[in-house]
Amino acid sequence: MKTTAIYAAILLALGGSAFAQTASINQYGASNTANVAQTGNDAATTATIVQGTQNDTDGDNGQSNNNQATINQSSVAGETATIDQPDEAVGSIATINQSNESGSSASVTQDETTGATAQINQTGNSVDGSTATTASVDQEGAYGSAAAITQTSNQGATASIYQNGYQGGATIIQSNTMLDTASVSQSDYSSTAAINQTAGDQSSTASITQNWGGSNGATINQTSGDANTASINQTQSMGSSATISQTNIQNSQASVNQSGTANAANVNQNDEGEGEGSGLVASVTQTGSNGIANVTQEEFSNTATVAQAGSGNTANTFQEGSNNTLNVTQNGSNGSATVNQGVYDTEASNNTATIYQDAASNLNSAEIDQYGNSNVATINQYGGDGVTTNVALVQQYASGDHASIVQAGGGGNQASIVQR
């Protein structure tokens, strides 16, 4: 009895087992439930759950439908959790919850499934950044499936979601962190992806790639941080949208790259708050027709670039503050480009704006509006055949400004410069 009491006291003082623990569950068939709980451990823990049809003998791949798997881990020395739900299943659900102090690893694989759901939650891991926390979801050939990863109070965490199938939904949330990386990769139609990095996130990276589809939506939000990077790539797409919002940040970059028709790109940097927003870089590249690009930057010493190749494209750009640079290039006919710098800001100054609309293009319009002092505006239009018309307008509302318009390639063009 005395020895038992001493041993129990030691375990209590340690907060649990001091030895590594492993747990493994394999289930075959339908409507199964698997749960692993590893808590209060001071040593590394490992848990694995496999639910599928590999051992079935009747050849019915539908046998693995409606399975549920859950892993809960709390360990000081590190934890690893793996859930695998393959084999053309319907309605699979996988959940992993991890909380510790030295780094966690979680992965969910749901291949050839329909209506699958994966959720990974990690909190309080790798606070000192000594051991990286990682989470990944792989939904290959999964249709109508959803994946979500939430990482809170981590440092140097990595989260990735891969989906190949239409109507996929992916969400990554990283909060109160530094040096995090989040990525989503999707292929097919009507998929949505969202990454949120918030609450003082610094030196973090977020990227979304959507290939070979249409009607896709991608959103990245980064809030209250420094030196962050956000990028969205949508290739061979039609009717897709991409939005990047970087709020109350500085020295950060945002880029959108789209190819295809009728796509929309929105970049908002420091849309709220005061005193931030310096050293921001925004770029939008669109290849194809009927694209729309909207760029907004606030504060000072920022750079924005819009490049559009194709007909019927529209660029709307806005910069508030001083010492900003904005460039718009359109290669194609029926384009529209608008630049606003320092709008209604009497203290704005030293801004530079350039619009270039290339040769062999007609029916383009370009407008630059600048408020404040010592600004420079340039519009170059090369096109027009004497019948069709390009239109250029520069309006400057202070002193010490410079404006230039060049129109070449034919007659029928219109140019106006107004300086007040």
pLDDT tens-digit map of 180-210: 999 999 998 899 999 999 866 678 999 999 9
Give pLDDT, residue 275.
56
Mean pLDDT of 245-261: 94
Mean pLDDT, the chain, integer: 87
Give pLDDT, residue 391.
93
Give pLDDT, residue 128.
52
pLDDT band at 8 (very low <50, low <70, confident <90, very high): very low
Query: Distance between CA atoms of 165 and 184, rounded to whole angstroms?
Result: 13
Query: Distance between CA atoms of 122 and 136, rounded to whole angstroms?
Result: 12
Mean pLDDT of 363-368: 94
For residue 2, give the H/E element and its range: helix 2-14
pLDDT band at 385 (very low <50, low <70, confident <90, very high): low
Mean pLDDT of 138-142: 89
pLDDT band at 254 (very low <50, low <70, confident <90, very high): very high
pLDDT band at 18 (very low <50, low <70, confident <90, very high): low
Mean pLDDT is highest, among 9-23, 117-131, 333-347, for 333-347
pLDDT band at 2 (very low <50, low <70, confident <90, very high): very low
Three-state secondary structure string covering 342-400? CCCCCCCECCEEEEEECCCCCCCEEEEEECCECCEEEEEEECCCCCCCCEEEEEECCCC
Which residue would you say has higher pLDDT here, 230 or 1? 230
Q: Helix (H, G, I), strand (E, B), or coil: what is residue 116?
A: coil
Query: Distance between CA atoms of 294 and 268, rounded to whole angstroms?
Result: 8
Least confident of 95-104, 243-252, 285-294, 356-365: 356-365
Least confident of 9-23, 78-92, 312-326, 349-363: 9-23
Percent of the chain clearing pLDDT 90 (strictly above): 61
Q: Looking at the predicted structure, is the pLDDT value of residue 326 above 50? A: yes
Q: Looking at the predicted structure, is the pLDDT value of residue 256 above 90? A: yes
**pLDDT, tens digit, for every residue of 290-306?**
999 999 999 899 999 99
Mean pLDDT of 23-37: 94
Which of 269, 313, 272 is closest to 291 using CA atoms? 313
Domain boundaries, the chain: 1-165
**pLDDT, tens digit, for every residue of 76-125?**
778 899 999 987 778 999 999 998 767 789 999 998 889 999 999 998 76
**pLDDT, tens digit, for every residue of 64-74?**
789 999 999 98
Percent of the chain clearing pLDDT 70 (strictly above): 86
**Eight-state DSSP code of residue 3:** H
Q: Looking at the predicted structure, is the pLDDT value of residue 6 above 50? A: no
Q: Looking at the predicted structure, is the pLDDT value of residue 12 above 50? A: no
Q: Looking at the predicted structure, is the pLDDT value of residue 413 above 90? A: no
Mean pLDDT of 129-133: 69
Give pLDDT, residue 277.
75
8 A C-beta contact, residue 305 and residue 284: yes
Q: Looking at the predicted structure, is the pLDDT value of residue 60 above 80? A: no
Which of 142, 36, 37 is closest to 85 using CA atoms? 142
**pLDDT, tens digit, for every residue of 155-187?**
888 999 999 988 999 999 998 777 899 999 999
Q: Looking at the predicted structure, is the pLDDT value of residue 234 above 70? A: yes
Q: Helix (H, G, I), strand (E, B), or coil: what is residue 194?
A: strand
**pLDDT, tens digit, for every residue of 37-59?**
998 877 789 999 999 875 544 54
Q: Token pair for residue 388?
A: 């069709």
Give pLDDT, residue 184.
98
Rg (CA), the chain: 27
Which residue would you say has higher pLDDT here, 218 or 227? 218
Q: Helix (H, G, I), strand (E, B), or coil: what is residue 10?
A: helix
DSSP letter string over 35-66?
Answer: EEEEEEESS-EEEEEEEESTT-SS--GGGGTT
Q: Token pair for residue 175?
A: 């909060």
